């Protein structure tokens, strides 16, 4: 058995097994005995143990020594203070219930988390344990020593990972122990991570604060903050290894206007991978996202707008996870921008007053369109807000040249969302010959082309098309290698579409916002172009 013990724990002397109480005015030996001692320990033993002459009058300020074995012990519980995803709690009798925030968990219980879930337990002394995804923890012992403040917490991590923050010891009987099938971690007033791999039968321990003594198999090791170890095949601790430093996140933008948001940081020497965690609270009690990446690039996915907290750490070749880099993240991605339809990227339109078209974005009550001569939009030539329709003809004539246009959404409360990616197009002189009229429709080439922003090189796209907004009935569903699809022969009426990214490992991101397009009668289709339209999704 490999044991991980707090280096600062006192040695096994008699003094270390005694709790000391400082006398207050009015205290008596009888009062202290009734409050703190077991019922079978008479107050006279406490008087004799401390050589107290007058049990009814004790000088304030002196210390009364009480052996830990004499103290009153009562059962304690742990409380689920944060929960994300699905988890379950099986009590000592085997009854299993869904975990919920505020739930009291007693000794003998087993807590399990699903693949994408995590929860945080708070113990009687304020210590916390965060159980990560696909993990299993048994609460072996939860005891409190009366009103002394000392708590004995003993848990066993059967599989998975946990992050632990132990409160400082209030006496010699204070314990916070996390066992695994190969280790025992006993700490006080420190922070550490521990993980157990059931297949490799390997335990990894990483010390973030304080000092921890590691022993097992006849070998002892002292770990300070910033050091880690894992056990060998004989459960002996390997030599201490420094944890990788925190990555540099200073290049991250101050505000994220796209979800999911691709983020990166400089690679660290010795890193074989990285972990990103996202939370709504600065203490990371609830993890909204917990993902690993082989490269210093990851997509952050926040559930909405607001202020979030992200932390990133590197993973070395032994699987030890390094120190955290923590960054506040401001997200302003809603309402999401519509998809641009026309003019298309790098396309050309003729005439001095181009017509701009976009999709109807879910959550949008109005739209704001800007046109500028450069991509900075520092001095827009057209800036129209409060647009109720999904199209606008330029209110003034523009000379031929290159331009950029972008479209954003405004919700019912007047909140402006981010603009979509600027679309570059060329404005040309009117074409010679007759203008295309409403009756000039190429009936053999009616189609709609849909395009959306490209993902990573190793990502695919999941596309859905439906007649109804809630996609109860899917008319078309495709998984595509390219960020485009052609939809020939669509009937008239409103069509709804949505896409999502699929990683190379099969992980599917949430669907993006629902977009809609209305296919009108044949004379109306000429507005999409001669027999074809290109829907540029931004």
Annotated domain spans of the chain: 74-234, 255-331, 340-428, 447-536
pLDDT digits (tens, 9 = 90+) for 89-120: 999 888 999 999 999 999 999 999 999 999 99
Asked: is 447-536 a CATH 2.60.40.10 domain? The reply is yes
CA distance 23 to 36: 13
Instruction: Output the CA–CA distances (angstroms, integers) from residue 303 to 269, 365, 510, 524, in the order listed.
Output: 33, 21, 10, 39
Higher pLDDT, 229 or 146: 229
- Homologous superfamily of domain range 255-331: Immunoglobulins (2.60.40.10)
pLDDT digits (tens, 9 = 90+) for 193-235: 999 998 888 889 899 998 777 766 777 788 889 999 998 777 7
Q: Is 447-536 in the same CATH topology as 340-428?
A: yes
Which residue, among 446, 448, 441, 463, has the nearest Cα to 536 in the 3D structure?
Answer: 448
- Which CATH code fits 340-428? 2.60.40.10
Which 3 state secondary structure label does DSSP give 29? Answer: helix
Strands of 114-237, DSSP E: 118-122, 128-131, 136-144, 151-165, 175-179, 183-186, 191-197, 202-209, 212-216, 219-223, 227-230
CA distance 538 to 536: 6
pLDDT digits (tens, 9 = 90+) for 431-470: 443 322 222 223 334 678 888 888 777 788 999 999 999 9
Q: Would you state the CATH architecture of domain 74-234? A: Sandwich (2.60)
Highest-pLDDT range among 168-172, 318-322, 504-508, 519-523:
318-322
């Amino acid at each position: 058995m490999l044991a991980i013990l707090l280096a600062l724990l006192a040695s096994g002397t008699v003094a270390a097994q005694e709790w000391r109480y400082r006398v207050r005015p009015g205290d008596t030996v009888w009062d202290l005995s009734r409050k703190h001692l077991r019922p079978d320990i008479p107050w006279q033993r406490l008087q004799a143990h401390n050589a107290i002459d007058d049990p009814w009058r004790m000088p304030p300020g002196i210390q009364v020594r009480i052996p830990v074995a004499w103290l009153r012990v009562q059962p304690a519980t742990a409380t689920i203070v944060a929960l994300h995803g699905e988890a379950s709690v099986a009590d000592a009798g085997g009854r299993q219930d869904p975990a919920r925030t505020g739930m009291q968990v007693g000794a003998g219980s087993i807590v399990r988390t699903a693949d994408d879930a995590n929860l945080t337990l708070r113990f009687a002394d304020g210590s916390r344990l965060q159980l990560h995804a696909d993990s299993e923890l048994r609460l072996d012992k939860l005891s409190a020593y009366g009103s002394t403040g000392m708590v004995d917490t003993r848990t066993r991590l059967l599989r998975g990972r946990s992050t632990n923050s132990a409160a400082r010891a209030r006496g010699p009987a204070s314990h916070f122990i996390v066992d695994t099938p190969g280790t025992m971690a006993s700490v006080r007033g420190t922070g550490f991570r521990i993980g157990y791999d059931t297949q490799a039968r390997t335990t990894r321990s990483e010390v973030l604060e304080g000092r921890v003594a590691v022993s097992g198999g006849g070998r002892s090791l002292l770990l300070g903050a910033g050091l880690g170890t894992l056990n060998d095949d004989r459960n002996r601790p390997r030599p201490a290894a420094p944890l990788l430093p925190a990555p540099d996140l200073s290049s991250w933008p101050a505000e994220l206007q796209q979800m999911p948001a691709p983020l990166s940081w400089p690679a660290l020497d010795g890193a074989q991978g990285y972990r990103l965690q996202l939370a709504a609270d600065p203490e990371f009690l609830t993890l909204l996202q917990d993902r690993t990446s082989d490269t210093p690039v990851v997509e952050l996915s926040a559930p909405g707008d607001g202020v979030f907290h992200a932390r990133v750490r590197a993973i070395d070749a032994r699987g030890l996870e390094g120190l955290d880099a923590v960054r506040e993240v401001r997200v302003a991605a809603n309402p999401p921008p519509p998809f641009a339809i026309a003019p298309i990227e790098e396309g050309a339109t003729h005439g001095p007053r181009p017509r701009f078209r976009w999709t109807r974005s879910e959550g949008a009550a109005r739209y704001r369109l800007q046109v500028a001569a450069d991509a900075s939009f520092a001095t827009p030539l057209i800036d129209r807000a409060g647009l109720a329709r999904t199209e606008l003809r330029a209110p003034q004539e523009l000379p031929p040249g290159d331009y950029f246009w972008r479209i954003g959404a405004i919700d019912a409360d007047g909140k402006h969302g981010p603009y979509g990616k600027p679309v570059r197009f060329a404005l040309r002189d009117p074409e010679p010959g007759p203008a295309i009229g409403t009756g000039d429709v190429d009936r053999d080439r009616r189609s709609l082309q849909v395009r959306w922003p490209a993902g990573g090189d190793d990502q695919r796209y999941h596309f859905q098309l439906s007649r109804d907004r809630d996609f109860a009935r899917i008319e078309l569903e495709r998984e595509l290698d390219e960020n485009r699809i052609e939809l020939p022969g669509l009937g008239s009426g409103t069509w709804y579409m949505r896409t999502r990214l699929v990683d190379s490992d099969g992980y599917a991101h949430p669907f993006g916002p629902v977009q809609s397009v209305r296919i009108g009668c044949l004379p109306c289709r000429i507005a999409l172009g001669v027999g074809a339209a290109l829907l540029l999704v931004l």
